[in-house]
Amino acid sequence: MGTPRYTVQLGSNYVLWFENSNQYIVVSEMIKDLLEVFLLFPSKSTFIEVLVQQQMLEEQATSFYKDIKRLLENANTNVEPPTTNNCTASISQPNIVKRYQFGDYALSVNYGSSVIENLIHPQWAHAAINHNNAPPTAFDLFQEEGQLYLFKNGAYIGDYIDTEYHLLQGQFSFQLINSIYNKVESDWIATFHASTVCNDQEAIMIIGASGNGKSTLSAVLMASGIDVLADDFTPLSAKNKEVYRFPSGISVKQGAFKMLELLFPDFEHYPLHKSTSKDVNIKYIPPIKTLNEGVPHVPCKKIVYVKYDPNAKSSLQEITTEKILETLIPESWLSPVASNAELFLEWLKDLKCYELIYSDNAMAVSKFKELFKA
């Protein structure tokens, strides 16, 4: 069985990366040592014999053999290769055409219907323009026989079952940053399901379980004057290991509307939308800085796991990187390119990680301002 391509120590644990499956696995030092024994002595009888010689009970050694064997089998399951482009769909005549401006970069999106427009446009409405000039990049999004299709400049990008529209949304976001920054997939280490705030020198990433208020906190921080670099989609570049601006609107749910109306004078005028993933009303708050006004990319060496709890005493404490990875890895796209995986592990080694439990917005804002000074 294949060995981990890269291994890095984080505190008392180790992160292993397996190339075949593009999996990152966090293990204790003991499991790492047992894994090394297994790779040296893959025979069950020899493996058990070696451990028994080191004063381990035979029953325990047998159990470890099964666990390590299962771990390696799962970690070496090959990732499905990309399917060959057999797309036979033809780009349909768009019903709706929107043009958007991001700094000096303009693009158009041709939507096949208002339903498809609603999947993409609301978070970019603040960047919409009325110019009729044809921009250098044009996306086509349409539906045909239960499939959602994405084309870029006439080239097929992908198609997705209409019930898995989130895959279309994610791929559109990915293609958008490629267009804005003139990059391709292999230029990115990862795109994280995280919001990110910044100043001119550094960024702080915000992660948390769904419903824990990442985007609402980002909006609160922005109202206090802190720049929001990205909401819910944070790209990390391989060129410089820096996070890049993703200039979308900030999505906030109805439960936070009353509080946000006090922070944003125009909030009641922002269009109301129905969330595409949950049965809840949402609004998008435009970012305070455009691509030309804010820094395009900055280093990020701090991550905060946030949890809003109205009944808890607010606190900020440092936690291990391993704890952060439990949320960060499953919800993110991580490049399968070996050199990018190595860069990701290098990036992890430099991180400082925190957990913020808060019930008070003013306290949360003050803690983030302290972190920027730290």
All domains of the chain in start order, with CATH: 6-75 (no CATH), 96-182 (no CATH), 189-373 (3.40.50)
- What's the confidence (pLDDT) of residue 212? 77
Distance between CA atoms of 186 and 178, rounded to whole angstroms? Answer: 10
pLDDT of residue 238: 98
Higher pLDDT, 256 or 93: 256
User: Which has more pLDDT, 344 or 331?
Assistant: 344
Q: Per DSSP, what are the bridge partners of residue 345?
A: none
CB < 8 Å & 24+ apart, contacts of 20-23: 20/75, 20/76, 20/77, 20/78, 20/79, 21/74, 21/75, 21/76, 21/77, 21/78, 21/79, 22/79, 22/334, 22/336, 22/341, 23/74, 23/75
What are 200-244's pLDDT values in tens digits? 999 999 999 877 788 999 999 999 999 999 999 999 999 999 999
Torsion of CA 25, 28, 29, 32, to 10 degrees: -40
Provide mean pLDDT across the span 141-164. 95
CB 243 within 8 A of CB 343: no
Q: Is 156 helix (H, G, I), strand (E, B) or coil?
A: strand
Contact 335, 239 (CB under 8 A): no
For the chain, the C-alpha Rg in angstroms (whole number) is: 23
CA torsion angle 277 281 287 290 (round to 10): 60
127-145 confidence digits (pLDDT tens):
999 977 778 899 999 999 9
Q: How confident is the model at residue 94 (pLDDT cuts 50, 70, 90)?
A: confident
The tokens of 325 are what?
């990875």
Gap between the Cα atoms of 57 and 14, Å rounded: 25
For residue 123, the tally of other CB atoms under 10 A from its CB is 23
Residue 83 has pLDDT above 60, yes or no: no
Residue 38 burial (CB < 10 Å; 0-12/13-18/19+)?
Answer: buried
pLDDT at 84 over 70: no
pLDDT for the residue 213: 81
Mean pLDDT over 107-121 rounds to 96
CA distance 304 to 205: 6
pLDDT confidence bin for 29, thresholds 50/70/90: very high
Q: What is the mean pLDDT of residues 304-323?
A: 93
pLDDT of residue 122: 97
Give residue 241's pLDDT: 98
Is residue 237 within 8 Å of residue 187, measured between CB atoms?
A: yes
- pLDDT for residue 85: 61
CA 29-34-37 angle, to 5 degrees, is: 130
Determine the Cα–Cα distance for residues 242 and 223; give it in Å rounded to an integer: 24
Mean pLDDT of 326-337: 94
* Residue 315 one-letter amino acid: S
| Residues facing 356 on adjacent strands | 306, 316
pLDDT digits (tens, 9 = 90+) for 163-195: 999 999 999 999 999 999 999 999 999 999 999
Count other Cβ atoms within 10 Å, centred on residue 261: 12
